[in-house]
Amino acid sequence: GAVVSQHPSRVICKSGTSVKIECRSLDFQATTMFWYRQFPKQSLMLMATSNEGSKATYEQGVEKDKFLINHASLTLSTLTVTSAHPEDSSFYICSAGTGWETQYFGPGTRLLVL
Amino acid sequence: KQEVTQIPAALSVPEGENLVLNCSFTDSAIYNLQWFRQDPGKGLTSLLLIQSSQREQTSGRLNASLDKSSGRSTLYIAASQPGDSATYLCAVRLDSGGSNYKLTFGKGTLLTVNP
């Protein structure tokens, strides 16, 4: 139980395009989903927290207009990187939970912006 | 601001050896501490979670300890196996009311167990 999937697992795009990453809880309803970014050999950094049906809460320094988060249902949250640039290349990981205390992590999405 | 440091950054040991990974945090007002495993290019698997009132947790060959007052935790792996090779991440949750859902991660320790 408690499986979280992400799609795609890997994406390459051209600079200036937008990329959408999906995070799904497969066998439970996730009232809260978290989006993290991890640069090589660096810590996972929380980008934003989303609760189903409400606006996401972004961490300081994360541009909400660049990283659009939609948590439209209890099993799906999406992260859209708008007008992606090479510096947005990173490993994006989501986690999901029924509350904030227990988080189940997805397998991550590797984004490469050329 | 909470900072989490993990030492060493990388560790290579022969199979069968017992080993210790270290984690330190600057703000001792934590709600809990969690150890994760991350395989290359993969997500995170939770290994052990220690509540702030606990001193240690054990799961199989893994034992995690917590000394909240000194801001330290250790992950002990007994009889290491090549399959233990991965990056081990330490993360803490602050006990700060509305913000205690946030996990602050260390950079991890890359463990290689050689057959």
Phi-psi region of A88 (alpha: psi -120 to 50; beta: other; left: phi over 0): alpha
Partners of B42 on chain A (C-beta within 8 Å) are 107-108
Distance from CA of A34 to the nearest CA of B (A): 9
Residues constituting chain A: 114
The residue among A103 and B97 whose pLDDT is bigger is A103
CA separation (Å) from B31 to A4, B12, B26? Answer: 24, 32, 14
pLDDT at A68: 95
Per-residue pLDDT reduced to its tens digit, A48-94: 998 887 889 999 999 999 999 998 888 999 999 999 999 999 999 99
User: In this complex, is the C-beta atom of A110 within 8 Å of any C-beta atom belonging to chain B?
Assistant: yes
Per-residue pLDDT band for B109 (boundaries 50, 70, 90) equals very high
Per-residue pLDDT reduced to its tens digit, B59-107: 999 999 999 999 999 999 999 999 999 999 999 988 766 555 678 999 9
Partners of B55 in beta bridges: none
